[in-house]
Amino acid sequence: MDRIRIVGGAELNGAIPISGAKNAALPLMIASLLTDETLQLHNVPRLADVAQLLRILGNHGVDHGVAGKRPGQTAVTGQSVRLRARHIIDTTAPYDLVSKMRASFWVIAPLLARMGEARVSLPGGCAIGTRPVDLLLMALERLGATIDIEGGYAIARAPKGLKGNDIVFPKVTVGGTHTALMAAVLADGTTVIENAAREPEVADLALCLNTMGARITGAGTSRIVVDGVARLHGAEHNVLPDRIETGTYAMAVAMTGGDVMLEGARPDLLQDALDTLVQVGAEISSTNEGIRVRRNGHGISAVDVTTEPFPGFPTDLQAQFMALMTKAKGTSRIRETIFENRFMHVQELARLGARIRLDGDLAYVDGVERLTGAPVMATDLRASVSLVIAALAAEGETTVNRVYHLDRGFEALELKLGQCGANIERISHS
């Protein structure tokens, strides 16, 4: 199993190209099931989760091809993927495939919308709380599907097709909104989704679906209206840049000091997090190239944050921000309101010398003068990269084990950081 070895203390200087967003690419790939024509996606990141979803889609009969290398392409340039679900030959998504990645459960919506039935294993995935699928199934039931849970599978049926209806989510759910969108586009009549997730990745999916012939308005707001159409056609779409990767590298620069241009990053996708970093002491400026992050030698200020749905501070940046706060002057309070188990990185950060106290959904981080390197273990995707950020500023050597979590969500992490001066390398074990 691969490990990442980091010797801390180096500033980051240079440029980091921001990859396409994993959280946008996955639902966009799943949307290929809605049409028998080709969907071509550009700027798709090279990640373990993307490869896994290609296997899942292939099981349903989706042909896929990845474009070969182009002039000027590097290992950190996004790939182009062609997907065509000419014939869906299997409406079952089996446990051995779905259990490896939660987002794959979303195939239930396009399979049901196009084929009138779907049998999808209840998901596994990250160990950060229960993340139930009840709201996703509720949305499908509102559109006329019957749902049965049998033997660990959700079995959805709508033999006469789905019917437009009002869907009111009791709480904001990104997965529920994705599911409702993909089911409603082929439903008969109009669907109104209330309390919809406003995340940029939802708006990106709606933009792509509209390019395929869907009629969606209001995506990016809490009220989305979908006028169902009889069929969708093929399209070409660019995946938007990854706001979580952008925020992660911005926090790494705030942690180590230095000056880095995050190429292709869009500030409108994570303004709350950028505003927070300015309070911490980073200088942030937007240019045509992307976002420039600098921190001079004045140290890191303690700032309190609460995770919230978009446009608030993202839960997917909470672990990284906690790592940054371990070296702040004073005490910061971090409240996690989205996922109940999302403080699993605390014990590992403590191994590097961090001082963190937990009280329910609150973490109190007392900044320390110095962190020292140690062997640590990744527990989930965002927790693992928080350990990398802390290690970049720790004295001595840190080894991060179980980096397969990182490979699920960060494209060429050690290459991107290494090009900016970090002393980082991957140690592979055959």
| CATH for 103 | 3.65.10.10
Q: What is the pLDDT of residue 129?
A: 45
Q: What mean pLDDT is predicted for residues 47-59? A: 94
Both 102 and 49 in one domain: the answer is yes
pLDDT above 70 for 430: no
Both 353 and 208 in one domain: the answer is no
Hey, what amino acid is at 174?
V
Catalytic residue among 10, 30, 34, 126: 126
Query: Which band of pLDDT confidence, cut at 50, 70 and 90, is reported for residue 73?
Result: low
Cα–Cα distance measured from residue 112 to residue 315, given in angstroms and rounded to the nearest whole number = 30
pLDDT above 70 for 377: yes
Both 51 and 138 in one domain: the answer is yes
Q: What is the pLDDT of residue 204?
A: 98
Q: Smallest Cα–Cα separation from 342: which of 311, 367, 305? A: 305
Hey, what amino acid is at 385?
V
Both 258 and 168 in one domain: the answer is no
Cα–Cα distance measured from residue 289 to residue 18, given in angstroms and rounded to the nearest whole number = 11
Q: Which residues sit in the known binding site?
A: 22-23, 102, 131-135, 316, 338
Q: Are 110 and 205 in contact (CB under 8 A)?
A: no
Both 248 and 396 in one domain: the answer is yes
Handedness of CA 24, 29, 32, 33 (dihedral sign): negative
- Going by the DSSP 8-state scheme, the letter that residue 281 receives in this structure is T
| Locus of tokens 């990250």 | 126
Cα–Cα distance measured from residue 110 to residue 417, given in angstroms and rounded to the nearest whole number = 38
Tell me the pLDDT tens digit for each residue of 283-295.
999 999 999 999 9
pLDDT above 50 for 55: yes
pLDDT above 60 for 170: yes
Give the helix ranges, DSSP H, for 77-190: 95-98, 108-115, 134-142, 174-184
Residue 126 appears among annotated catalytic residues: yes
Tell me the pLDDT tens digit for each residue of 184-193.
999 999 999 9
Both 281 and 141 in one domain: the answer is no
- Going by the DSSP 8-state scheme, the letter that residue 315 receives in this structure is G
pLDDT above 70 for 333: yes
pLDDT above 90 for 65: yes
Both 208 and 249 in one domain: the answer is no
Cα–Cα distance measured from residue 151 to residue 140, given in angstroms and rounded to the nearest whole number = 20
Q: What angle do CA 130, 133, 135 make, to 5 degrees?
A: 120
- The span from the first CA to the last CA of the chain, in angstroms, equals 7
Look up residue 191 and give its two tokens.
Answer: 């669907």
Mean pLDDT, the chain, rounded, equals 93
Both 193 and 54 in one domain: the answer is yes
Both 232 and 247 in one domain: the answer is no
Tell me the pLDDT tens digit for each residue of 241-257.
999 999 999 999 999 99
Q: What mean pLDDT is predicted for residues 289-317? A: 94
Q: Smallest Cα–Cα separation from 117: which of 144, 99, 151, 86? A: 144
Q: What is the pLDDT of residue 332?
A: 98
Query: Which band of pLDDT confidence, cut at 50, 70 and 90, is reported for residue 382?
Result: confident
Q: What is the pLDDT of residue 128?
A: 36
In the chain, the percentage of residues whose pLDDT exceeds 90 is 84
Q: What is the pLDDT of residue 277?
A: 98
Q: What is the pLDDT of residue 124?
A: 54
Look up residue 296 and give its two tokens.
Answer: 């001079």
Tell me the pLDDT tens digit for each residue of 98-129.
888 888 999 999 999 999 999 999 875 444 34
Number of structural domains (the chain) is: 2
Q: What is the pLDDT of residue 404?
A: 86
**Structural domain boundaries enclosing 410:** 3-18+241-427
Both 222 and 254 in one domain: the answer is no
Q: What angle do CA 52, 199, 255 make, to 5 degrees?
A: 80
Q: Which residues sit in the known binding site for phosphoenolpyruvate?
A: 22-23
Both 249 and 287 in one domain: the answer is yes
Q: Which residues sit in the known binding site for UDP-N-acetyl-alpha-D-glucosamine?
A: 102, 131-135, 316, 338
pLDDT above 90 for 36: yes
Q: What is the pLDDT of residue 74?
A: 65
Q: What is the pTM of this model?
A: 0.94
CA distance readout (Å), 283 to 320, 385, 393: 18, 22, 18
CA distance readout (Å), 4 to 73, 329, 374, 393: 25, 28, 12, 15
Query: Which band of pLDDT confidence, cut at 50, 70 and 90, is reported for residue 76?
Result: low
Q: What is the pLDDT of residue 127?
A: 43
For residue 218, the tally of other CB atoms under 10 A from its CB is: 16
Using CA atoms of 396, 402, 406, 408 in order, give the dihedral in degrees to the nearest 10.
170
Q: Are 318 and 294 in contact (CB under 8 A)?
A: no
pLDDT above 80 for 63: yes
